[in-house]
């Protein structure tokens, strides 16, 4: 599990700040509680469609970096 966290951390560091923040909040990487798009939108001062667009772009970038064993189900591969 530690190796997976380390790989994920490396991939997240490559994302632009807003994309990283949206993914962290949506997936519960900050506090262990995944946030709904509306909750993320409220916290970051954006709209739900903006959050969904940023999340999709972030996952697309994460797929480009290369497969991370154990994350395929989240990245849609």
pTM: 0.80
Q: Are 2 and 38 in contact (CB under 8 A)?
A: no
Distance of CA 24 to the CA centre of its chain: 5
Alpha helices in 28-70 (DSSP H): 37-44, 48-65
CATH 3.40.50.280 applies to domain 2-66: no
pLDDT at 77 (0 to 100):
45
Task: Label residue 45 left, alpha or beta by phi (over 0 means left) and psi (-120 to 50 means alpha).
Answer: left
Q: Domain locations in the chain?
A: 2-66
Dist. CA 10–CA 12, nearest whole Å: 6
pLDDT tens per residue across span 19-65: 999 999 999 988 999 999 999 999 999 999 999 999 999 999 888 77
């Amino acid at each position: 599990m530690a190796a997976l966290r380390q790989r994920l951390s490396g991939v997240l560091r490559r994302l632009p700040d807003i994309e990283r923040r949206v993914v962290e909040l949506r997936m519960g990487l900050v506090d262990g509680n995944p946030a709904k798009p509306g909750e993320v939108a409220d916290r970051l001062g954006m709209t739900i469609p903006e959050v969904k667009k940023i999340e999709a772009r972030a996952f697309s970038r994460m797929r480009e970096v290369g497969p991370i064993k154990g994350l395929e189900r989240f990245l849609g591969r």
